[in-house]
Structure 1
């Protein structure tokens, strides 16, 4: 029975991720890029200055500093999708899928600029009077109360999309395949369940503390995990210097031909790349606007500029490094493993004995930080749908679902999350397009003031 349900979920996921969702995400990103006259790309330097705290004002509305808002959003994106999600992309679509992840991320920069600008521009208040941001609020505040059913639909899908199923599953798989089995501890349903219980306890202690505790924890964890992982994966890559250029060549060739051993048709490769990019940086899905909507700022464009750095850090930098590590070590050809286990094999081949344990530490940081950030999104969504009186229930449901993720099938989990993400993208991107003139007008005003400030 459960196997049949899993197959049905995978089938629905594969069918929903076809031409419509590709047109929506890629076409929407291209529209935002052209409509803004490349503004997000032209002001990357200014976005970095904002992160330094130069423009922070504690008296402005919101709950998080610019840096904390980005860290919280990155904690939800720079996670297991960067370690195991890339491995899944290569396994399912070949190295060429990475190229289409890049394209999706480049267009996602503009998408995040627009969605996160709107998250501040059209902030609303929950029934407790607390200022909130996110697609459900800019849909109702920007387009009117008649659009509330669309906002509710988004919120319900988001509660599924930000569940800890994938993170819990891959962290459990890593502990089983990399730590327990090699040390003669047999992997079983029981050991996976025990691992899930331990993860649930740790996550529960943090997430029940609310957004301020989450912001503080992620503000420390995200930089640490990125530095450790970056240093290790660069060592793996540059320990095979002669294979780096051929690796890029393989990516570009397979992106348009599908000739790699694990590749497929061109359409399948593009779909795989876009799906995994969406899983990785979430541009156009609507989760990041919830974090950036909590930023302490009265300048929507300023927060949009900060938010657009997410896909650059997440997909262009971190995912690319993971992909190169897998390709230069040839583990994608030599191993039948999937998910994080494939990435572990790449690390272990370059750094014998210690590589897989270094990856294990990184994986703990990545998955935990994501599981610390995701409940905040779910709580906001449940609060919007049912009221703040009941929103705390999501934290307990989130912790309980960790146990399910620890013992469930990887492909079924990916299918379920992909369905939720696709159904989140439709209301997010479509309503953002409808509200985009507001962002364009605000951008023109903000950049004019910025230019005037520089001339003084």
Structure 2
């Protein structure tokens, strides 16, 4: 087992080298400038689309814009925001947050392009159902000769979207915050983790075997509430530590470029750490969210791209920043004994003695379960592409079985496996998006021209009293 863990760590570190950083962040900067900062110029229109102003129930797809974003956020606003940020700060120091912000801003442009393409180049699975995602973008947009690249994405997606990180960290917080302090654990750690894992399997199975409609419906109900609850908790931490907020931001900016506290002052390493955790958190450029947004009810690709670009902002700029501030303001980041979700739980308990960790448990459970629900959809899409849609339900059995593995494995092995597979998924997603970016901009110019004409006609009719 130790040898496997060492191999996974080696694979993950090798995959997340400078070439991938250039592809992800360099590609994101290219999208940002090439689009003329479109994500920021059309933010109001994106919110109107999200509110359902342009919804048409007769459009092709399975779920509406709001459900698509909620389900995508259910996967991204999860343990990556609570535990992933803690892991990033433990490895790279407070300055990692700055590079996560940079990744998120360019990630908004990346999400716009990749998710517009997921609707623009939707394909059909083996039973004729309309599907979206990088594998269909590659095959439909670039042509059949690119199919090996599409298959490469799908294979990486089978493992990159496994629920093992969520299961691992949810098990850890339940065991360390709820069970152990109240004497409910057994002397054998493995059996405690196994029992928690089996309970997670049961709850997850109730939702994921209902398909994308049930996942979208559940996510649409749970995501807004979980974000608000978490924000309120961190706002309280910020309120009781308000005098330290300026120093916390100063530390983030200073450490981002000096990185003196960790990694031997290697700024390049801290940038990679920030980009790595940001990719795990908001998935910009990875391709998973494209699969969810490809299921949206719309025949306007640009609209879905505009909705999708809100994801990195909500996920990283808002939620990840809140986690980082909670850890920095309470000084927990300097505790070398805390790791992963335990570090965040310690921060909450330091700020809210006696009950803070329980508040986090509630947030963690909601965050983790919504991620567990959404990730299964991604895996079934990849499985359907590789082996046929009529067999996709078999993937869910494999999916829930790996929850037990995640609950009992070490966090080092779990993070290394997911990170490595995310890196593999990013390659076909970014390559196809870069090659097809002119198609997106042509569609955007056409769309916004039509929207301008529509508004002018509406004003004329209003002026004439029609």
- What is the Cα deviation at residue 12 of structure 1? 1.8
Query: Once the two structures are superposed, what CA deviation does each residue of 1:399-431 show, in whole Å capped at 9, x if it has no partner?
Result: 000000000010111011011000000000011
TM-score (structure 2 length as normaliser) = 0.96
User: Counterpart in 2 of 1:388?
Assistant: 389
* Equivalent residues of 2:112, 2:305 under 8 A apart: yes
Query: Once the two structures are superposed, what CA deviation does each residue of 1:369-399 show, in whole Å capped at 9, x if it has no partner?
Result: 0000011111111001000121111111000
* Equivalent residues of 1:76, 1:373 under 8 A apart: yes
Instruction: Evaluate the alpha carbon distance shift between residue 263 and residue 277 of structure 1 in structure 2; reply closer, same or farther with a 3 A threshold.
Output: farther
The Cα RMSD (Å) is 1.0
Q: How does 1:203-242 map to 2 (within 5 A)?
A: 203-242=204-243
- What is the Cα deviation at residue 173 of structure 1? 0.3
User: Counterpart in 1 of 2:143?
Assistant: 144
Distance 2:185 2:259 in 1: 38
Distance 2:173 2:240 in 1: 24
Distance 2:320 2:255 in 1: 17
Query: Once the two structures are superposed, what CA deviation does each residue of 1:308-339 show, in whole Å capped at 9, x if it has no partner?
Result: 00000000000000000000000111352100
* Equivalent residues of 1:263, 1:269 under 8 A apart: no
Distance 1:438 1:313 in 2: 27
User: Counterpart in 1 of 2:198?
Assistant: 197
Distance 2:117 2:333 in 1: 41
TM-score (structure 1 length as normaliser) = 0.98
- What is the Cα deviation at residue 264 of structure 1? 4.3
* Equivalent residues of 2:376, 2:396 under 8 A apart: yes
Q: How does 1:165-204 map to 2 (within 5 A)?
A: 165-186=164-185, 188-204=189-205
User: Counterpart in 2 of 1:86?
Assistant: 85
SS at match of 1:129: coil
Query: Once the two structures are superposed, what CA deviation does each residue of 1:110-135 show, in whole Å capped at 9, x if it has no partner?
Result: 00000000000011111111100000
Task: Report the more deviating stretch, 29-38 or 296-305.
Answer: 29-38
- What is the Cα deviation at residue 3 of structure 1? 0.7
- What is the Cα deviation at residue 455 of structure 1? 2.4
Distance 2:314 2:402 in 1: 29
User: Counterpart in 2 of 1:131?
Assistant: 130
- What is the Cα deviation at residue 220 of structure 1? 0.3
* Equivalent residues of 2:263, 2:270 under 8 A apart: no
Task: Report the more deviating stretch, 215-224 or 444-453.
Answer: 444-453
User: Counterpart in 2 of 1:355?
Assistant: 356
Q: How does 1:1-20 map to 2 (within 5 A)?
A: 2-20=1-19
Distance 1:342 1:386 in 2: 41
- What is the Cα deviation at residue 261 of structure 1? 5.9
User: Counterpart in 1 of 2:121?
Assistant: 122
* Equivalent residues of 2:117, 2:440 under 8 A apart: yes
* Equivalent residues of 1:93, 1:263 under 8 A apart: no
Distance 1:262 1:330 in 2: 19
User: Counterpart in 1 of 2:65?
Assistant: 66
User: Counterpart in 2 of 1:423?
Assistant: 424
* Equivalent residues of 1:95, 1:254 under 8 A apart: yes
- What is the Cα deviation at residue 262 of structure 1? 7.5
User: Counterpart in 1 of 2:41?
Assistant: 42
Distance 1:263 1:406 in 2: 33
Query: Once the two structures are superposed, what CA deviation does each residue of 1:335-385 show, in whole Å capped at 9, x if it has no partner?
Result: 521000000000001111110001001000000000000111111110010
Q: How does 1:251-330 map to 2 (within 5 A)?
A: 251-260=252-261, 264-330=265-331
Distance 1:406 1:234 in 2: 31
Distance 2:212 2:47 in 1: 24
- What is the Cα deviation at residue 449 of structure 1? 1.4
Distance 1:229 1:4 in 2: 38
* Equivalent residues of 1:105, 1:316 under 8 A apart: yes
What are structure 1's unaligned runs of at least 5 residues? none
- What is the Cα deviation at residue 181 of structure 1? 1.4
Give the length in aligned residue pairs: 455
SS at match of 2:162: coil
- What is the Cα deviation at residue 443 of structure 1? 0.4
What are structure 2's unaligned runs of at least 5 residues? 458-466
Distance 1:149 1:235 in 2: 51
- What is the Cα deviation at residue 267 of structure 1? 1.3
User: Counterpart in 2 of 1:26?
Assistant: 25
Distance 1:388 1:298 in 2: 23
User: Counterpart in 2 of 1:406?
Assistant: 407
SS at match of 1:389: helix
- What is the Cα deviation at residue 263 of structure 1? 7.1
Instruction: Please say if 1:343 is aligned against 2:366.
Output: no
* Equivalent residues of 1:94, 1:264 under 8 A apart: no
